[in-house]
Amino acid sequence: MSAIKAKNQRLVLLMLAAAAVIAAVLLGMWGLRDNAAFFYAPADVARKGVPLERNVRIGGMVKAGSVKRAPDGVTIDFVVGDETPATIPVRFAGIAPDLFKENSGVVAEGRFQPSGLFVADEILAKHDENYMPPELARDGSKHKTETLR
């Protein structure tokens, strides 16, 4: 038997390295498949239906007058909407972020129930582009940006 030529040896090693990289990427994607959360707006849910089989994220604006706090002090029911007439009823049990309020943006992660209720495990309140940290708001100072010329 003749020895493998150096050129062929490099080609075999390169192919093995490429196969190892592809295998690592596929294993990583397979391991993260349950942690991937798809994002839905109320209009998407109205158009595509309610995904029951996996964790998803929903986002939109908390409708005015929709926030109802349960007597237990930690359960909150509210309605998320967007610029369409579609809405999603949401229930969250936990401590809400400080920025969570009516007419503000919210992103919730959890699962849909067969009834259409979205049970959130986590909610994130979003602030608008005019957000000012409380320290600056108390001082009455305005945050100014300068343009470079």
Asked whether residue 10 falls in the same domain as residue 30, the answer is yes
- Are 112 and 71 within 8 A, CB to CB? no
Mean pLDDT in the chain?
81
The helix, strand and coil proportions of the chain, stated in percent and rounded to the nearest 5, come to 25, 30, 45
Q: Within this chain, do residues 45 and 116 fall inside the same structural domain, yes or no? A: yes
Cβ atoms of 76 and 96 within 8 Å: the answer is yes
76 shares its domain with 98: yes
Task: Render pLDDT for 98-141 as a digit per residue (tens, 0 to 9).
Answer: 888 888 889 999 999 988 899 999 998 776 556 566 666 666 55
Whole-prediction pTM: 0.63
Query: Quick one: 106 exposed, middle or buried, by C-beta within 10 A (0-12, 13-18, 19+)?
Result: buried
pLDDT digits (tens, 9 = 90+) for 83-108: 889 899 999 998 888 888 888 889 99
- For residues 28-50, give the mean pLDDT: 78
Does residue 140 belong to any structural domain of this protein? Answer: no
The pLDDT value given to residue 45:
84
Which residue is it, tokens 């391991």? 31
Same domain, 20 and 73: no
Beta strands 87-93; 75-81: pairing state: antiparallel
7 and 24: one domain? yes
Q: Domain total for the chain?
A: 2
Q: Which domain holds residue 109?
A: 38-126
